[in-house]
Structure 1
Amino acid sequence: MPKLVLPPDAPSLADAVAQAVRDGVAAGELVPSVTYSVYQLAELLDVSRSPAREGLLRLAEAGLIEIRRNRGFRVLPPQADDIEEIIGIRVALEPPAARDAAVSGTDAQHAAIRSALSAMAAAPDDASFWRADRELHDLLLHAAGRPRTAAIIERLRTTTALLGPPTTASGRSLAEIHAEHEPVVAAVLARDGAAAEAAMRTHLEATRDLLVANLSA
């Protein structure tokens, strides 16, 4: 069985199970090609079968997994139309948040955003790079005063993580992805809201176009 951890701060056991599975997908512990047992999942997380099933039903409703009768569940890799929808949601939410982060973010928040970009550039491996990338987007959303949006974006990124490493899925190098974030951060630090919004939109739309093109090829 994969290595999964039950988060201690979830509002309910079903929520905790759902989050543990999402985290397992994002970490590559749960992969689309394998059918997993609900009973083994409950045992692994040390919960009863009822919250395990309830948590999985929530993920099935979100389209993240498929429940296979009398067999278990499997992770569903996203298709091109899924990516269109997911990035479409992000385009609606993150560019205006980047604008607000530029205008309303504190100096301390801006310093943390700058550090996250530097961490991306200095990352010694892919895993460290993607942690810094996630942190950068999360910091921007919190600097904009949008913690609920940050939680939504994190869940959406879990789904796109099923495509595999973003460098492979989109065909870009780490250096190219880092370079797409530089104008976003530069605009935020300059407190130029319009430029920050435009740069974030450009980054997300480029990501969408490359992911969809590769899935459709």
Structure 2
Amino acid sequence: MPKLVLPTDAPSLADAVAQAVRDGVAAGELVPGVTYSVYQLADLLGVSRSPAREGLLRLAEAGLIEIRRNRGFQVLPPQAHDIEEIIGIRLSLEPPAAGLAASQGSSEQHAAIRSALAAMEAAAFAGDEASFWPADRALHDLLLHAAGRPRTAAIIERLRGTTALLGPPTTASGRTLGEIHAEHEPVVRAVLARDVAGAEGAMRAHLESTRSLLVANLRR
């Protein structure tokens, strides 16, 4: 079996297994065309078979692996069209939601959105990716809830998780945390000003930029 490392900071064992396998793919330890045993994977990572299977199911849903019944699993190379599909879904949902957050979000919700952006700025200034990405996710989630779209928020959270499994973040292509924060500033500024068209346009521009960089990462 290849050399894999189980992360210690994942939210759950299943998440840790999924991340260990994804990291193994990125490092070339797991390669397409080879069938790997689920049981050996569990033993290698020191976990029971249940979280190992759950982690692999998440990767299968993301399109990163294929589970072979009674045989194990094989790695599938991530495809650019996977990212394009995911961001396409987000483009259909998040810009209109940003507009709704601008038009109908409460003062309290807008204050929380402002605070999330400030947390992103502080993390970007400190170069703290571990704090930056949760603040980024929180900002998007707050915008969706301010729009009155909790089900959409759940869908977007799942899509973001799938995107993370498919490849490295856009910082791998040279995009800085400061640049990512800067893309969110016009979104929040428009929302706080209750500028519906501005909020929709800024969110669309941010997602289109993200799509271009993620696709470029996969095509390297």
TM-score with structure 2 setting the length:
0.75
Cα distance in 2, alignment partners of residues 210 and 163 from structure 1 = 11
Cα distance in 2, alignment partners of residues 65 and 137 from structure 1 = 28
SS of 2:141 mapped into structure 1? helix
Matched, 1:192 2:216: no
Return closer, same or farther for 1:24/1:166 CA change in 2, 3 Å cut-off: farther
1:30–1:75 contact (8 Å) kept in structure 2: no
Please show how residues 61-210 of structure 1 align to structure 2 within 5 Å.
61-68=61-68, 72-73=72-73, 76=76, 78-123=78-123, 124=126, 125-161=128-164, 162-169=166-173, 171-210=174-213
The CA deviation string for residues 24-53 of structure 1, in whole angstroms up to 9 with x for no partner, is 54xx44423556753428x8368499xx47
Cα distance in 2, alignment partners of residues 59 and 215 from structure 1 = 17
Please show how residues 45-64 of structure 1 align to structure 2 within 5 Å.
47=50, 52=53, 56-57=56-57, 60-64=60-64
Cα distance in 2, alignment partners of residues 130 and 113 from structure 1 = 15
Q: Which amino acid aligns with 1:196?
A: A
Residue identity (%)? 68
Partner of 1:9: none
Partner of 2:33: none
Return closer, same or farther for 1:142/1:91 CA change in 2, 3 Å cut-off: same
Q: CA deviation at 1:146?
A: 1.2
TM-score with structure 1 setting the length:
0.76
Q: RMSD of aligned C-alpha atoms? A: 3.0
For these two proteins, the number of residue pairs brought into alignment is 198
Please show how residues 19-58 of structure 1 align to structure 2 within 5 Å.
20-21=14-15, 25=18, 28-31=19-22, 32=25, 33=28, 38-39=38-39, 40=42, 44=47, 47=50, 52=53, 56-57=56-57
Q: 5+ residue gaps in structure 2?
A: 31-35
The CA deviation string for residues 46-83 of structure 1, in whole angstroms up to 9 with x for no partner, is 8499xx47x85575255243224555346656321111
Q: 5+ residue gaps in structure 1?
A: 7-16
2:168–2:217 contact (8 Å) kept in structure 1: no
Q: Which amino acid aligns with 1:72?
A: G
The CA deviation string for residues 192-214 of structure 1, in whole angstroms up to 9 with x for no partner, is 11110010001101111222234
1:113–1:185 contact (8 Å) kept in structure 2: yes
